[in-house]
């Protein structure tokens, strides 16, 4: 039930509540009616017995002898359906109605509910001058009436429930509509347009408050996003000058002619690290720009086969004597892109393939056209990527769980490649990792 | 050449001046935009190495004022801003060349000498000749003695680096950097393989190899007599 949509919940809750209320109300109502009816029966019993006694005191102008048995003719017509016992002054029974079939309804003065021939009856006993009257009447009519009321309520209950459910559904939908509209609007705000805000509703209600809260959250998100982007751009910038000094210093040390062989080797090592640092800074700056959507592209149309030829050249050299390289390159597929950026993507894929293919394996480079898409894929044989690595393989500073610490690279490669592919209106995906081949495909729109 | 270095980072300025002095140039250093501008107006140097991020007056403004005063010294811009916009802005506002930090000092020295020699920026000429080797860049064709040589894309690029500056010694790292731009797994061994293949293709019996190994440093293209 927790998973139901809000409008269904509103419908179900209101229907259930209404039905429960109706049932409780019905029970209360029926109890009330029952006691009212009993009270009325009691009144009529008392009245009938007084009337009976009045008649006996004055039967055709004279009182009847209270010690003589009475026959039915002494009983008024409207009491002949009643159960009736009349006792004389000494307690002797002077009349016992036939419908009692010998059963005694003698009892203490006052009213009680008894059973006569298996039927619920209301009985009353009254002491009058010379007589004690015991009179009872069937409660069948009262019971029938209550039963009718109960049946009526029970049959209408589902109908009422259904109607209330429908109403609740409508009400729920109506109440949720602004929230649904709000979430649709909120969904359309992404990294691309974080500075946009949700339109404020006219009414000053809960929805308006929610809108304000959401807009505030977006503002904070935007601010921290911009701060993070600016930070990495600034940091990369600021890092470049000291690195330039380091590089210039090391190079002048190397070329100064004051170093012996060991010193020179050491300086070369340091220079290599400086270059690595430079690469990292460049990568971070590139990512900061793609994050901020401020990457400027020097796009120009060119044949993907050219790029593939260089990549193949690299691949063959990198894996020379270790891996088998195959290619299937369709020429004449023109894309409009920044060549340097595409080269970075392709170099990443080529490097990874060269790095992660077990010795004696194969690497396959394919360029082909699929509809309006150009597809550049690099596949290599090797064990399937662990399930848990596939999702995060394109994440920043993420490296495969099986990749040792000693492997070169800083875990930005695929992330940068993806960011660059996307800024060219393309995509980069892991299309296959089945234990036989691992294949990454770059797709780009064809000109 | 008389070279003015306007760079606010003292260590970097010192190294630049040192490297240029070693090449036989006369250098002066200013660490402030305004001071640099005044020095340039006074001394009218042949070439200015200009940083963009400067105190009191930024590099673009210095350049604009120099050009306004018709000082036509060659200008190489140095900047930490490696993006396309500032490169384009630098070149359109009258600079002759542009180098992103951190740069290789050899590269700076090479560009300075190219600017001094030609009196202009390093031009991407279409056909390069070095001795009997002719390279047609747009058609990606290479001939030696009129005989066509088939080169792979990377072999072509490596040869082009050498042919643009015959006689200059390139380290393996520098070649790596030129070809792949970024730091890579492509280690220096990869470059060695390319050079080995290139040598084999360019080889002529009985002649010294065109691409020479400079022990402990790198490689150079034999300067044609």
Q: Is A307 helix (H, G, I), strand (E, B) or coil?
A: helix
What are the structural domains, with CATH classification, of chain B? Answer: 2-118 (3.40.50.2300), 127-221 (1.10.10.10)
A343 CB within 8 Å of a chain B CB: yes
CA distance B1 to B116: 7
Question: In this structure, are A234 and A350 located in the same domain?
Answer: no
Domain carrying residue A57 = 6-146
CA distance A201 to chain B (A): 42
- Which residue on chain B is closest to A413 by alpha carbon? B184
Q: Quick check: B48 and B24 in contact, CB under 8 A? A: no
CATH number at residue A133: 3.30.450.20
The answer to whether residue A176 is domain-embedded is no
CA distance A331 to B206: 40
Find which of B49, B80, B102 to mutate to test the A interface (most A CBs within 10 Å of its CB).
B102
Query: Model pTM?
Result: 0.64
Q: Are strands A110-116 and A131-138 parallel, antiparallel or unpaired?
A: unpaired
The answer to whether residue A168 is domain-embedded is no
Question: In this structure, are A389 and A416 located in the same domain?
Answer: yes
Nearest to B15 among A238, A248, A271 (CB): A248
- pLDDT score at B122: 47
For residue B104, report the phi and psi dihedrals to the nearest 5 degrees.
Answer: -85, 135
ipTM: 0.77
Alpha helices in A132-260 (DSSP H): 140-187, 206-255
Q: How many Cβ atoms sit within 10 Å of the Cβ of residue B35? A: 15
Angstrom distances, CA of residue A91 to CA of A66, A95, A174: 11, 11, 76
Query: Which residues in chain B have their CB less than 8 angstroms from residue A264's CB?
Result: 216
CA distance B94 to chain A (A): 21
Question: Which of the listed residues A271, A291, A311 is the one where a domain comes to its end?
Answer: A291
Q: How many CB pairs under 8 A join A and B?
A: 109
B196 CB within 8 Å of a chain A CB: no
Element (H, E) at A303: strand A299-303
Question: In this structure, are A18 and A129 located in the same domain?
Answer: yes
Question: In this structure, are A133 and A224 located in the same domain?
Answer: no
User: Residue holding tokens 């993806």?
Assistant: A418
Instruction: Give per-residue pLDDT as tens, A192-249.
Output: 677 788 888 787 888 888 888 888 988 998 888 888 777 777 777 788 888 999 998 9
Find which of B138, B183, B187 to mutate to test the A interface (most A CBs within 10 Å of its CB).
B183
Q: Return the CA Rg of chain A.
A: 49
- pLDDT score at A226: 81
The answer to whether residue A137 is domain-embedded is yes
CA distance A412 to A232: 14
A275 CB within 8 Å of a chain B CB: yes
CA distance A403 to B29: 49
CA distance B108 to B21: 13
Question: In this structure, are A342 and A401 located in the same domain?
Answer: yes
Mean pLDDT of A13-18: 91
CA distance A77 to A74: 9
Instruction: Give per-residue pLDDT as tens, A290-346.
Output: 877 777 788 899 999 999 999 999 898 888 888 999 999 999 999 999 988 999 899
Question: In this structure, are A236 and A113 located in the same domain?
Answer: no
Question: Which of the listed residues A146, A161, A191 is the one where a domain comes to its end?
Answer: A146
B103 CB within 8 Å of a chain A CB: yes
- pLDDT score at A441: 95
Indicate the length of chain B as a whole number.
225
**Contact: B153, A246; criterion CB under 8 Å:** no
């Amino acid at each position: 039930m927790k998973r139901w949509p809000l409008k269904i919940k509103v419908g179900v809750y209101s229907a259930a509540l209404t039905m429960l209320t109706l049932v409780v109300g019905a029970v209360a109502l029926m109890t009330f009616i029952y006691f009212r009816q009993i009270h009325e029966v009691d009144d009529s019993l008392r009245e009938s017995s007084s009337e009976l006694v009045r008649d006996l005191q004055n039967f055709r102008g004279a009182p009847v002898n209270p010690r003589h048995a009475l026959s039915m003719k002494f009983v008024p017509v409207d009491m002949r359906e009643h159960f009736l016992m009349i006792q004389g002054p000494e307690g002797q029974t002077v009349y016992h109605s036939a419908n009692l079939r010998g059963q005694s309804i003698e009892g203490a003065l006052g009213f009680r509910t008894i059973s006569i021939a298996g039927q619920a009856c209301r009985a009353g006993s009254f002491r009058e001058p010379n007589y004690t009257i015991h009179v009872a009447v069937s409660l069948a009519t009262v019971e029938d009436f209550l039963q009718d009321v109960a049946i009526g309520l029970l049959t209408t209950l589902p109908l009422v429930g259904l109607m209330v459910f429908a109403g609740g559904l409508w009400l729920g939908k109506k109440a949720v509509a602004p929230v649904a509209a709000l979430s649709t609007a909120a969904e359309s705000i992404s990294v691309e347009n974080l500075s946009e805000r949700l339109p404020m509703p006219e009414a000053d209600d809960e929805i308006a408050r929610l809108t304000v809260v959401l807009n505030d959250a977006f503002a904070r998100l935007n601010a921290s996003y911009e701060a993070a982007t600016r930070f990495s751009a600034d940091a990369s910038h600021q890092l470049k000058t000291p690195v330039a000094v380091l590089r210039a210093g090391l190079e002048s040390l190397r070329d100064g002619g004051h170093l012996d062989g060991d010193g020179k080797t050491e300086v070369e090592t340091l220079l290599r690290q400086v270059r690595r640092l430079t690469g990292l800074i460049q990568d971070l700056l590139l990512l900061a720009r793609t994050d901020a959507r401020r990457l400027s592209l020097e796009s120009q149309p060119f044949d993907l086969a050219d790029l593939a030829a260089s990549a193949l050249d690299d691949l063959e050299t990198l894996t020379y004597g270790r891996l088998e390289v195959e290619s299937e390159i369709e020429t004449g597929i023109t894309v409009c892109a920044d060549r340097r950026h595409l080269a970075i993507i392709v170099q990443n894929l080529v490097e990874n393939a060269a790095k992660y293919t077990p010795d004696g394996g194969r690497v396959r480079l394919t360029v082909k056209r699929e509809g309006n898409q150009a597809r550049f894929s690099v596949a290599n044989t090797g064990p399937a990527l662990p399930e848990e690595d596939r999702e995060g393989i394109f994440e920043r500073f993420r490296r495969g769980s099986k990749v040792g610490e000693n492997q070169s690279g800083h875990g930005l490669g695929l992330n940068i490649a993806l960011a660059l592919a996307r800024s060219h209106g393309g995509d980069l995906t892991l299309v296959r990792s089945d234990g036989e081949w691992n294949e990454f495909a770059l797709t780009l729109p064809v000109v | 050449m008389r070279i003015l270095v306007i760079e606010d980072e003292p260590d970097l300025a010192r190294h630049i001046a040192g490297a240029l002095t070693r090449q036989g140039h006369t250098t002066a250093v200013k660490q402030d935009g305004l001071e640099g501008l005044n020095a340039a107006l006074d001394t009218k140097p042949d070439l200015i190495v200009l940083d963009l991020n400067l105190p009191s007056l930024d590099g673009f403004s210095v350049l604009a004022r120099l050009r306004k005063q018709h000082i036509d010294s060659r200008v190489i811009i140095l900047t930490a801003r490696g993006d396309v916009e500032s490169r384009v802005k630098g070149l359109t506002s009258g600079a002759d060349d542009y180098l992103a930090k951190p740069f290789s000092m050899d590269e700076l020295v090479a560009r300075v000498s190219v600017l001094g020699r030609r009196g202009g920026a390093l031009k991407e000429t279409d056909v390069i000749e070095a001795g009997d080797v002719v390279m047609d860049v747009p058609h990606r064709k290479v001939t030696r003695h009129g005989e066509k040589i088939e080169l792979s894309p990377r072999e072509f690029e490596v040869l082009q680096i050498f042919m643009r500056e015959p006689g200059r010694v390139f380290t393996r790292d520098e070649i790596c950097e030129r070809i792949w731009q970024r730091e890579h797994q492509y280690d220096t061994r990869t470059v060695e393989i390319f050079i080995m293949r290139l040598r084999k293709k360019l080889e002529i019996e009985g002649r010294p190899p065109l691409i020479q190994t400079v022990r402990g440093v790198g490689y150079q293209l034999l300067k044609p007599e």
